Chain A
Amino acid sequence: MNTLIAISGLGVLCLLFEIFNFRKAIVPVTIIGLLAILGLTYAEFNAPASFYNNMIVVSKFSAVFSALFIVLTVFLIALSHDFYEDHQTKISDFIAIKIFMLAGAVAMVSFGNLAMFFLGIEVLSISLYILAASNRLNVKSNEAGMKYFLMGSFASGIILFGICFIYGAMGSFDVAEITEWSRSAELPIWFPIGITLVTIGMLFKIAAVPFHFWAPDVYEGSPTLTTTTMSTLVKVVAIATLYKLLTAMNADLSDTYINIIIVISIASMTVGNIMALKQNNVKRMLAFSGISHAGFMLMTLLNISNSAGNLLYYTTAYSLSGIAAFAVILYVCKNKNNEDIANFNGLGKNNPLMAAVLTASLLSMAGIPIFAGFFAKMFLFTQTIEAGYLIVVIAAVINSIISVGYYFKLILAMYNKEANEEATKTPFVLYAVAIVSILLNIVLGLFPSVVLDLLG
């Protein structure tokens, strides 16, 4: 609860900084503030409680995921300073919107009432519509913002309809009461309909097949930093929320529901990977890679009662390597008007360090050992086999092999092709973010139990 209040306060503070003309200090102060809030989540981790008539329920799950979101936001805000160099007058708005988005994300994982869940998801989405369309003179950014807005509000409508049916069945929005009643009495047919609608809406936000069609366009058109936000922070928020919702709503998923999740999971992996193979734009390629990772993350739902630790580990590994990869993309494509793979030619000679970071993060996403991505996949597969879903794991392994294909396309371009221009100077912050996030990724790979045991 204190985390949420402090984050909202920090957002207001960012807006006040603009009034008092402290624009230069805004990025460092926000980062320090967020790191202080990280300490608050540690306090909440040790003291689970509920606030305001169960509107907000702080549990270990919510505290750990809030901490992950805050770390990701720190990286995103550190990257903002260079990215918005040409828009210094608006930087406080951009930062404030990101902080409010974080507030929405924290509300989404720590809701205790469906009203809070709905408000959280809307605060997150509305901030993202603005960020996606924030480059207002660029037609592509406009188009991405519009498409994201249409798909997002469509999905919100479906989620709202689902919440309405759940309310109709239960007569309450309180998650604890709904959990209790969903086990006991004979349920009206509205309840499963509501759960299905909410799930569909959340699958839109996660961009799982068949609700993925908006993702590549939106990822490509948005400003690169917004794409970073969507593919790391927002994806993690959405999958964590779906996990929490399903644990709360129906602890014992029915067989039909499990089968649907299996189909969606396998379809997401396969479609995402196969479409990614023929992409020439790096942002688009990572969008499809994100769709396939969404399929992997959905596998945790098959074993919903005790896979929270694995979900946390997988999302942490994925989002850290995503941040590192996008930091390099921000550097390479800074003054280019597209993000084609050709831009990466010869990066291995021009800037060996950045090339190494990008290689490491792609290897982590592909699941090559010593990086956290490998162990995340290994633990996830082991647990899914133990739960008895061998067929999903077979599909997942085949897909991991396919994914190596397109990740190596980018790696080969960096090391085997000649550069077509001279190296440019790298801002220090980009180095720092890229290296810190990839180091965190490797450390997590070497000591997985640090994260896994948090929710064990």
Chain B
Amino acid sequence: MDNILNQIGIENYIFLSVILFCIGVFGVLYRRNAIVVFMSIEIMLNAVNLLFAAFSTYHQDAQGQVFVFFSMAVAAAEVAVGLAILVSIFRNMHTIDVGNLKNLKG
């Protein structure tokens, strides 16, 4: 494991994670379908998980990998709540387009 990390270099892992994270950010900002927005949030969190695993190997320290479990559990709980909110929006408004959420303005 250590060998591979030396060959590839920690920087490349960081670049990959940053790119994935930015893809997630732009997905949240530009996509209008709520499901796709949820997916983009998951991409952001998983990009971070990837970087945690890389740093964990880089430091030869298991804490980072344990943290990934926490963040995966939290992400699952978060999306469960988000989907529940989405279902109630769909029941009331018959759409899951985030752009239609315009009742609150001022």
Q: Which A residues are within 8 Å of any B CB, using their own CB?
A: 115, 118-119, 122, 125-126, 129-130, 133, 136-137, 139-140, 142-147, 149-150, 153-154, 156-157, 160-161, 163-164, 167-168, 171-173, 190, 216-217, 220-221, 279-281, 284
Contacts and interface: CB of A to CB of B under 8 A. Distances in A.
A291 to B, nearest CB: 14
B103 interface: yes
B106 A279 contact: yes
Contacts of A279: 106
B104 A146 contact: no
A146 B45 CA distance: 19
12 contacts: A126-B74, A126-B77, A129-B81, A133-B85, A137-B92, A142-B93, A154-B25, A154-B28, A161-B47, A168-B51, A171-B59, A217-B104
**8 closest cross-chain pairs (CB), A and B:** A171-B59, A157-B44, A217-B104, A168-B55, A136-B88, A122-B74, A143-B101, A133-B85
A20 to B, nearest CB: 26
Contact of A164 (B55, B74, B86, B104): B55
Interface of B: 10, 14, 17, 21, 24-25, 28, 34, 37, 41, 44-45, 47-48, 51-52, 55, 58-59, 61, 63-64, 66-67, 70-71, 74, 77-78, 81-82, 84-86, 88-89, 92-93, 98, 101, 103-106
A374 B2 CA distance: 59
A118 B61 CA distance: 19
A143 B89 contact: yes
Given A154-B28, A167-B64, A129 B85 contact: yes
A216 B104 CA distance: 9
A147 B21 CA distance: 20
A221 B48 contact: no
A133 B41 contact: no
Contacts of A133: 84-85, 88
A146 B55 CA distance: 33
B70 A119 contact: yes
B78 A173 contact: no
Given A143-B101, A150-B28, A154-B28, A220 B106 contact: yes
Contact of B52 (A167, A281, A284): A167
B65 to A, nearest CB: 11
A125 B48 CA distance: 19
Contacts of B63: 167, 172-173
A139 B74 contact: no
Contacts of B70: 115, 118-119
A321 B78 CA distance: 32
Q: Is the interface of A mostly helix, strand, loop or mixed?
A: helix
A146 B85 contact: yes
Given A143-B101, A173-B67, A221-B104, A126 B21 contact: no
Given A115-B70, A216-B106, A160 B98 contact: no
A98 B59 CA distance: 39
A122 B41 CA distance: 14
A153 B82 CA distance: 9
Nearest to A157: B44
Contacts of B84: 130, 133
Contacts of B67: 115, 118, 163, 167, 173
Nearest to A170: B59
A220 B104 contact: yes
Contacts of B21: 157, 161
B74 A119 contact: yes
A284 B106 contact: yes
A167 B14 CA distance: 13
Nearest to B92: A139
A339 to B, nearest CB: 11
Nearest to B46: A157
A130 B28 CA distance: 21
